Structure 1
Amino acid sequence: MCVEFIRSGPDPADAAFTAELLGIAAEAEAADGYRPFNEQSLFDVSARRRTPLLLSDLGSYVGAVVTGRGELDLVVRPGARRLGHGAAALAALLPGVPGELTVWSHGDHPGAQALAARFGFIADRTLLQLRMPLPTGTGDVVDPADLDDSRAAATNIGHFRPGADDAEWVALNALVFANHPEQGALTLADLEARQSEPWFDAGDFLLARDRASGSMLGYNWLKIEPGEAVGEIYVIGVQPAAAGRGLGRRLMLAGLERLHSRGCTVAALYVEADSTAAVHLYRSLGFTDHTVDVQYRRDPR
């Protein structure tokens, strides 16, 4: 099989190239039930931090690739699968990508497992997507008794103020996710880019502050795509020094109430499978497994 990689034209905003790339991703999502490229990958492409490629076979586009920064994402168009395009693409790409390399398998598809084993990748991280139904109408999302906590009097939950809260939030997020390779690396520019997205609403970005000092103690950033019934707990975090006070649970409850008030019927979130305390909290609130993503790392041997 002879495959070739097509790069974007000189203009990084090449409309035809971008439309083809997103079209292949949309076809894969419709067939598989999950997105082949995560949000950060697409942000990196827009910021020109990573390189998008189209996979072509005899003039027909059969897949798409995003590479760079020690990561590789590959998707084969549903109608072109089981013909060897994925293996041919990896065989051509991998020799030119030395050093450490990671690959996400969204949904951990059996085909991805087979390719990982064939090319010397081992499972390194497991990311769970959990979901829970929200009541329709005016019913309560949570038991009001859960909100009766004397410790809550020391904190106030309000909304994010674009511009005023940016730097403090980026610093707190870096502290909370100091050991997380993606979330902990978010910059002011990344935050500004997300504020430009059509789904951003400052009212969906909940912040917990110490009533006495006004310092930021935690946050629950929600993401609701226009017209979607599924609302996402986009990222939630609590300052390490404030852990153990029930603030994470209180932020979760406030977030679920907000999603409900905005008309969402399902709440979703992503969590590392080995984050035992967080997984326990989410399951205690009613979240159950929806999908599993696995990150594979190239075996140095």
Structure 2
Amino acid sequence: MSDSLTLSVSSPDEAREPFLRLVARAALVDGQPPFNDQALVDIGKGTRSLLLAERTSTVVGAAIVGQGEFEFVIDPEWREEGLGRQLLEILLRNSEAGLLAWAHGDHPASRRLAASHGFRAVRTLLQLRRELPASAGPGTELPPGISLSTFRGGADVDDWVELNARVFADHAEQGGMTAEDLRFRMSEAWFEPDDFLLLRDAEGRMIGYNWLKIEPDDDRVGEIYVVGVDEAHAGQGLGRFLMNRGLARLVERGCAQAALYVDGENTRAVALYRSLGFTDHTIDVQYRQVLTGRPRG
């Protein structure tokens, strides 16, 4: 049928224009991006596939598939026509069971679609936000022997990858970041070395960091992209110092709001962020397919 949905594998370069338009429209309507950063990095590296969904020769959706998981979005102009269900079923017909899938925003339609196709929620990712003051307040002092600097490439790349792997040893996605992943992000338009704050001990070892992200086309909201402290230095207030210094940097950059993502089960981090004035903004849910055979519905 001429109005049936078709999927085609596309290279990020060939699909750049329609894909970016689709992502921008979805983000505007939904209030958040339809794909996470790691998925976008992976299609750039070629370790995941970008699929464009077309109907009557018009791009109406997109999916990123690979490494045992997928994410997809339907253009807001084409929703309420069952295209999300069609796209999901095409993806499932061409994949093995046990897939993971992200639903950004935890919309009721996503929950219904997941339940009808044998997926259950296995992880929640909270997006928290807080308003920022017009000017940065006085900073707090670091413990003796610990210094603050900013990212300068070179040896900082390997030092950060090693520290990040230790900090997030139980987090396969974040802890698995490689030097290649880091360099890919360094090539992005939003990357600014002075927004990548580093802590070192008296011997010069990297022991903590707060990496900030400010999109060039939306500098009202600054993101605490990832923050971590070496477990050997826990209990010294370094996480709170890095957060406060990061918030001050966002104020210096002219941001009006700060945002961050945190796993709902990370109670210690959630408590820290809430104590700093962050409140709930949206929720992302990761689902795993547990049903075998034909989908229900």
Matches of 2:76 and 2:272, distance apart in 1: 37
Instruction: Report the equivalent of 1:4.
Output: 6
Question: In the alignment, is the contact (CA less than 8 A) between 2:211 and 2:224 conserved in 1?
Answer: yes
Deviations 1:157-197 (A, max 9, x none): 11112112111110000111111121111101111111111
| Larger displacement relative to structure 2 (18-27 or 65-74) | 18-27
What code does the residue aligned with 1:259 have? L
Instruction: Report the equivalent of 2:205.
Output: 215
State which of 226, 239, 250 in structure 2 corresponds to 1:235. Answer: 226
SS of structure 1 residue aligned to 2:155: coil
2:176 paired with 1:185: yes
Deviations 1:16-54 (A, max 9, x none): x22112211111111111111111111111111111111
Instruction: Report the equivalent of 1:93.
Output: 91
Deviations 1:94-117 (A, max 9, x none): 022114311111101111111100
Instruction: Report the equivalent of 1:269.
Output: 260
What code does the residue aligned with 2:63 have? V
Instruction: Report the equivalent of 2:52.
Output: 54
CA spacing shift, 1:14–1:239, aligned 2, 3 Å? closer
Shift of 1:231: 0.9
**Alignment of structure 1 residues 138-149 onto 2, 5 Å:** 138=135, 140=137, 144=138, 147-148=140-141
Shift of 1:7: 2.2
SS of structure 1 residue aligned to 2:182: helix
Structure 2 regions of 5+ residues with no counterpart?
293-297
Shift of 1:139: 5.2
Structure 1 regions of 5+ residues with no counterpart?
none
Count of aligned residue pairs for this structure pair: 289
- State, as a whole percentage, how many aligned pairs show the same letter: 49
State which of 241, 245, 249 in structure 2 corresponds to 1:250. Answer: 241
Matches of 2:235 and 2:121, distance apart in 1: 32
With normalisation by structure 1, the TM-score equals: 0.91
What code does the residue aligned with 1:220 have? N
Instruction: Report the equivalent of 1:297.
Output: 288
Instruction: Report the equivalent of 1:225.
Output: 215
With normalisation by structure 2, the TM-score equals: 0.93
Instruction: Report the equivalent of 2:104.
Output: 106
What code does the residue aligned with 1:221 have? W
**Alignment of structure 1 residues 137-216 onto 2, 5 Å:** 138=135, 140=137, 144=138, 147-148=140-141, 152-211=143-202, 213-216=203-206
Matches of 1:139 and 1:206, distance apart in 2: 16
